[in-house]
Each structure stands twice: as structure tokens, then as C-alpha cells.
């Protein structure tokens, strides 16, 4: 039954009740009825184009299964914070333990709910450190692929709200390792800072974590500075769209093209910032290959800085031409998440260092 028919039915019921029942809810006005009709038609039209677009990409057999999985509520896990007091966490979760299962495909301790129920909210331990972060296990897996070493110098170029930044900080040594977390949007950057401060002790933040606010498409100020760069790119987020009617109405196939251009610009900057021999992990939560393998392909074929794909050893996910895709219909609900690991293999011969004054620096410390 359509939304309009459903509203009419309710109106009819209310009408019936009027002769002996609820007078508070009048039948829908003509104006509202028209507006609902318009919205339904718009949504149906977008859904038809959306289906056609992704059916072409995924095939008539796979697409309905993937779509069904995408429409289900997003699955999360609890990523335990190594800086939180273990005794406090054990005590807090003692009643949930039988429902929790430890994920075997990531090295940071992460727990999922066997019954897919909600976790108790994260909270502060005796030292004012938050105990765990709730996120998609695919996100932890993506940072796993970076094979972080305690002394790595890392850039997270699109970092807010901070799930992957936190998972990187779990693996760095505060004395020798360093993470720079970049986020262009000031409100999201504020949230990123709050997350870092709430999960990581002040002395560790002081020694190993920096937050900056540059435009990732123009992150050219620090050439060849990092061992590893994490690029979790802004993308079409189709799963999110399917759970947000208003956002979904705005979708069109053009969105992937626009996003892919921006993603390639950020990837160029990421590759520019990593040292020769270092790696960039490119990730999106899009299901469109335009935003995934095609971005990597363009960088390999047309980028001025040479890169090569690196094969990753992972326990879950489907291989794509240049990376891995974690699909919710194949992984018990995790994802979607695409990621690809590429190594910088040489220098950019055409690069001319920019004047420092031109750099788009914007830090709201």
C-alpha cells in the first residue's frame, strides 16, 4: 500500500471514528494529500533510476540481495579502547557477555552482538577515558590493511568523526609514532577533537596526535612526509541514503561522477604527501565502482606520481580489480566498504613546491 493510500485509509478510519470516536485527528487536507503524492512519485522515480543504475553495475541476480542487505539497519561492533581500564569494562559488560562474540578478522579487540542487539552506550572509566567506540567492523578492517607499525608517521586525510583515527592511535607508540588527523568541516573537526580527547590519555595526545583543518583536495603542504596515508573519502554512502528519505530524493547518477572527481583530487594529494615506498589506503563506503576501483585506475593510469596496487591479506571481503569490497549481503551485515592499498613508487617529475604562504591552512585549535 502506498503512503498516500495508507494516509487515506487512516483518514477514512478517523472519519469512521468521528461518528463515535477520535475527533482530534482530522482527515488529511487536499494540500497535504497532494504533497504526499508528489513525494511518493518523486521517491519512486528516484528508486527506479537507482535500481537501474546499480543493477547494471551488480547484475540482476546480485543487486536485489545487496539492496535488501543495505536496507537493513547498519551493523556495528564495539572496538575496545586499550587505554580504558579493563576491570571497569568487564564489570560494565558482565550481563552482556553471553551475547558478545570477538571478531576474528581484526587484531584490535572488537566485539559483535550475536543477536544483533544494541550495545550499552560507551562510558567513562575511573580515569575519565571512554571505554569503547561503536563502528562498522569494516572500518577497523580497513585500518588493519595499513599494517601500522608503532613508529609510523601517518596522515588521516578525511578523519571526522574519528573511528579510523582512533583505531590508528590504538596501534601507535606514543614516543615514536605520530598521527595527523585532517578534517575540512569545522563542526566535524570539533567532534573529531572531542573523540580523540575522550578516548586517548592527554600525554599520548600531546606526543602523538595532531588535528588540522585543510582542504584534502589541496593537501600539498607536506610532500613526502608520511609513511602511510589513510584516505577515507567522502562518497555517495548509498546505505545511508536508503535510510534517509529526504537525502535519497536528492540522489542521481551524477552524484557518483561528482564524488569520483573529488575523490581523485584527494587521492592525488594523499599520494603527494606519502614518501616514496610508503602506502596510501583509499576507502569509501560507496557501492559504485566509479568511486572505487575506477578512482584507483585513473590514478594509476593518469596520475603524475607513480603508484602500484598492493595485495592485501584479509579474512573477509571480495576481491575487486584493485582492492577489496566488504558487502553486507556476503559478510553477515558488515559494510559496505571498499578499500584499496597503493604504494608510491617514484617522484613527481613535474612537481614545483608551492610557496608556504599559498597553503590553505585553517586550524581552529
Ligand X SMILES: C[S@@+](CC[C@H](N)C(=O)[O-])C[C@H]1O[C@@H](n2cnc3c(N)ncnc32)[C@H](O)[C@@H]1O
Binding residues for S-adenosyl-L-methionine: 158-164, 183, 215, 232
Beta strand pairing status for 226-232 and 274-284?
parallel
**Measured distance CA(365)–CA(197) in Å, rounded:** 13
Decide: is 152 part of the binding site for ligand X (CB under 6 A).
no
At its nearest, how many Å lie between ligand X and the CB of residue 189? 8
Mark 184-223 with x for binding to ligand X (rule: CB under 6 A) and - for no binding: xx--x--------------------------xxx------
At its nearest, how many Å lie between ligand X and the CB of residue 285? 7
Site for ligand X (CB under 6 A): which residue of 64, 161, 253, 306? 161
Residue, CB closest to ligand X: 216
**Binding residues for ligand X, total number by CB under 6 A:** 19
Decide: is 232 part of the binding site for ligand X (CB under 6 A).
yes
Site for ligand X (CB under 6 A): which residue of 84, 93, 106, 159? 159
Q: Round to the nearest angstrom and report the end-to-end CA distance of the chain.
A: 53
Site for ligand X (CB under 6 A): which residue of 110, 160, 179, 341? 160
Active site residue 285: yes
Neighbours of 296 (CB within 10 A): 25
Decide: is 183 part of the binding site for ligand X (CB under 6 A).
yes
Site for ligand X (CB under 6 A): which residue of 162, 278, 328, 333? 162
Between residues 89 and 264, which has the closer beta carbon with respect to ligand X?
A: 264
Burial class (CB in 10 A: 0-12, 13-18, 19+), 239: buried
Q: Active-site residue numbers?
A: 285
Task: Report the interface residues with ligand X, using CB under 6 A.
Answer: 139, 158-164, 182-185, 188, 215-217, 232, 234, 266
Amino acid at each position: 500500500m502506498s503512503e498516500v493510500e495508507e494516509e487515506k485509509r487512516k483518514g477514512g478510519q478517523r472519519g469512521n471514528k468521528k461518528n463515535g470516536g477520535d475527533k482530534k485527528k482530522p482527515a488529511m487536507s487536499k494540500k497535504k494529500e497532494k504533497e504526499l503524492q508528489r513525494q511518493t512519485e518523486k521517491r519512486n522515480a528516484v528508486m527506479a533510476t537507482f535500481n537501474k543504475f546499480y543493477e547494471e553495475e551488480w547484475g540482476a541476480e546480485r543487486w536485489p540481495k545487496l539492496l535488501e542487505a543495505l536496507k537493513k539497519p547498519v551493523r556495528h561492533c564495539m572496538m575496545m579502547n586499550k587505554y580504558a581500564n579493563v576491570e571497569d569494562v568487564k564489570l560494565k559488560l558482565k550481563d552482556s557477555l553471553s551475547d558478545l562474540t570477538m571478531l576474528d578478522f581484526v587484531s584490535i579487540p572488537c566485539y559483535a552482538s550475536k543477536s544483533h542487539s544494541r550495545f550499552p552506550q560507551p562510558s567513562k572509566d575511573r580515569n575519565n577515558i571512554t571505554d569503547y567506540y561503536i563502528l562498522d567492523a569494516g572500518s577497523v578492517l580497513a585500518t588493519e590493511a595499513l599494517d601500522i607499525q608503532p613508529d609510523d608517521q601517518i596522515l588521516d586525510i578525511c578523519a571526522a568523526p574519528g573511528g579510523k583515527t582512533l583505531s590508528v592511535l590504538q596501534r601507535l607508540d606514543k614516543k615514536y609514532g605520530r598521527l595527523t588527523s585532517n578534517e575540512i568541516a569545522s563542526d566535524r573537526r570539533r567532534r573529531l577533537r572531542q573523540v580523540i580527547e575522550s578516548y586517548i590519555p592527554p600525554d599520548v595526545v600531546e606526543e602523538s596526535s595532531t588535528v588540522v583543518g585543510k582542504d584534502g583536495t589541496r593537501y600539498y603542504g607536506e610532500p613526502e612526509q608520511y609513511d602511510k596515508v589513510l584516505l577515507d573519502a567522502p562518497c555517495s554512502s548509498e546505505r545511508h541514503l536508503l535510510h534517509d528519505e529526504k537525502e535519497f530524493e536528492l540522489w542521481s547518477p551524477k552524484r557518483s561522477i561528482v564524488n569520483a572527481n573529488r575523490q581523485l583530487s584527494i587521492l592525488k594529494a594523499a599520494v603527494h604527501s606519502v614518501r616514496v615506498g610508503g602506502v596510501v589506503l583509499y576507502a569509501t563506503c560507496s557501492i559504485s565502482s566509479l568511486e572505487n576501483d575506477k578512482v584507483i585506475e585513473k590514478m594509476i593510469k593518469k596520475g603524475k606520481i607513480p603508484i602500484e596496487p598492493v595485495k592485501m591479506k584479509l579474512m573477509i571481503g571480495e576481491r575487486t580489480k584493485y582492492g577489496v569490497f566488504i558487502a553486507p549481503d556476503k559478510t553477515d551485515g558488515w559494510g559496505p566498504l571498499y578499500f584499496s592499498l597503493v604504494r608510491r613508487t617514484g617522484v613527481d617529475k613535474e612537481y614545483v613546491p608551492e610557496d608556504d604562504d599559498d597553503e590553505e591552512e585553517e586550524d581552529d585549535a
